[in-house]
């Protein structure tokens, strides 16, 4: 009998713990950032990326490889996430030996909270360039002005809502699990999900 009561108490505690976890899922927003560079882009330049990190603080990381991923957490609302700024840094001593280079850099962010939101932004759209044009493209990419893409997450009762301003060439979508293969183009109007 003691064993039965103990097992029942453990099951009750497990149910309560699971219930409290589910109740708190809207109290935190997790944002997954991703940078994808072509092989050639990773060979010729590093990327200094400034983004909104934990609890909306600006953080700068230098990306030196083809793929970079980062998860950040937001516990205080309203909060902002997204791209603040970026700069391509030519790799010291990299010698351009190939006749042409394929250059592309894509920034993605995917937020999971009460609702999900994702965005893709081409820092450099795919170009195939002769080697003597690579430095010019990097200079042009760095002379981008304000290209920040910031989304504000607002806690409203038990849900998280998103509002922000997107660029013409940013793919933004709400409540989708995969954003790379199934995205829609948005215009420059403010992006609001209620």
Give the pLDDT mean for 86-94: 88
Q: Is the dihedral of CA 71, 180, 178, 154 positive or negative?
A: positive
pLDDT over threshold 90, residue 93: no
Could you tell me which of 162, 68, 76, 77 has the C-alpha nearest to residue 119?
Answer: 162
pLDDT of residue 161: 76
Structure tokens at 137: 């493209």
Domain residues of the chain, as ranges? 28-193
Q: Percent of the chain scored above 90 by pLDDT?
A: 37
pLDDT of residue 171: 54
- Quick one: residue 82, left, alpha or beta (phi over 0 = left, psi -120 to 50 = alpha)? left
Q: Which residues have CB under 8 Å from 13's CB, separation 6+?
A: none
């Amino acid at each position: 009998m003691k064993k039965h009561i103990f097992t029942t108490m453990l099951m009750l505690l497990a149910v309560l713990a699971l219930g409290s976890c589910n109740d708190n899922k809207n109290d935190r927003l997790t944002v997954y950032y991703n940078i994808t560079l072509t092989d050639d882009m990773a060979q010729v330049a590093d990327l200094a990326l400034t983004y909104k990190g934990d609890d909306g603080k600006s953080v700068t990381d230098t990306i030196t490889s083809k793929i970079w991923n980062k998860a950040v957490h937001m516990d205080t609302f309203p909060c902002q996430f997204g791209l603040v700024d970026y700069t391509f840094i030519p790799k010291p001593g990299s010698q351009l030996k190939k006749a042409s280079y394929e250059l592309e850099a894509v920034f993605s962010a995917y937020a999971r909270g009460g609702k999900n939101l994702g965005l893709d932004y081409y820092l450099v759209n795919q170009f195939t360039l002769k080697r003597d044009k690579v430095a010019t493209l990097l200079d042009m990419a760095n002379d981008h002005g304000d290209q920040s893409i910031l989304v504000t997450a607002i806690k409203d009762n038990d849900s998280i809502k998103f509002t922000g301003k997107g660029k013409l060439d940013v793919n933004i979508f709400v409540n989708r699990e995969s954003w790379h293969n199934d995205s829609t183009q948005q215009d420059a109007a403010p992006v609001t999900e209620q």
